[in-house]
């Protein structure tokens, strides 16, 4: 049971990473670590900014 739950949680975290679902957490980590003076973006602002930047900086997908 214990090992199963740990295994599943590990897989979920891994899958989240691949999907890029942990981007905001990583942004906060970076923000806190680099000692910015201003407050970090809120979750909503962050995701908006993320997709809006893709608008002007497109990335190809492979075939």
Partner 1 sequence: MVSRPDDAVSAAQGGGPLTADPKLPPTAVDAAVSEAEDRKWTPAKIALWSAIALLGGVAWFMLAIVRGETVNAIWFVFASVCTYLIAYRFYSKVIERLITKPDDRRATPAEYKADGKDYVRTDRNVLFGHHFAAIAGAGPLVGPVIAAQMGYLPGTMWIILGVVFAGAVQDYLVMFFSMRRGGRSLGQMAREELGVIGGTAALVATLLIMVIIVAILALVVVNALGESPWGVFSVGTTIPIALFMGVYLRYLRPGKVMEVSLIGFVLLMAAIIGGGAVAGTEWGAAMFHLDKVTIAWGLIIYGFIAAILPVWLLLAPRDYLSTFMKIGVIGMLAVAIIVVRPEINVPAFSEFASRDNGPVFSGALFPFLFVTIACGALSGFHALIASGTTPKLIEKERQTRFIGYGGMLMESFVAIMALVAALSIDRGIYFAMNAPAALTGGTVETAAVWVNSLGLSGVNLTPDMLAQTAKDVGEQSIISRSGGAPTLAVGLAHIMQQFIGGPAMMAFWYHFAIMFEALFILTAVDAGTRVARFMLQDSIGNVIPKFKEHSWRIGAWLTTAVMVAAWGAVLMMGVTDPLGGINTLLPLFGISNQLLAAIALSVCMAIAAKRGSFKYLWIIVVPLAFAAVVTITASFQKIFATTPAVGYFANNAAFSKALADGKTSFGSAKTQAAMEAVVRNTMIQGILSIVFVVLSLIVIVAAILATIKAFRDHSAGMPMVDNEDRPRASRVFAPAGLIPTPSERELMAKWDELPADQRLGKAGHH
CB 24 within 8 A of CB 40: no
Task: Give the nearer residue to partner 1 in terms of CB position, either 6 or 12.
Answer: 12
Least separation in angstroms between residue 52's CB and partner 1 is: 7
Note the residues at the interface with partner 1 (CB under 8 A).
Answer: 12, 14-21, 23-24, 26-31, 33-37, 43-44, 46-56, 58-63
Least separation in angstroms between residue 1's CB and partner 1 is: 23
The total number of residues written for the chain in this structure: 63
Q: What letter would DSSP give residue 60?
A: -
């Amino acid at each position: 049971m214990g090992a199963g739950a740990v295994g599943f949680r590990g897989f979920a975290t891994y899958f989240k990473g691949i999907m890029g679902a942990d981007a905001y957490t990583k942004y906060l980590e970076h923000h806190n670590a680099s000692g910015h003076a201003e407050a970090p973006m809120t979750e909503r602002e962050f995701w908006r900014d993320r997709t809006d930047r893709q608008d002007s900086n497109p990335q190809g997908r492979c075939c």
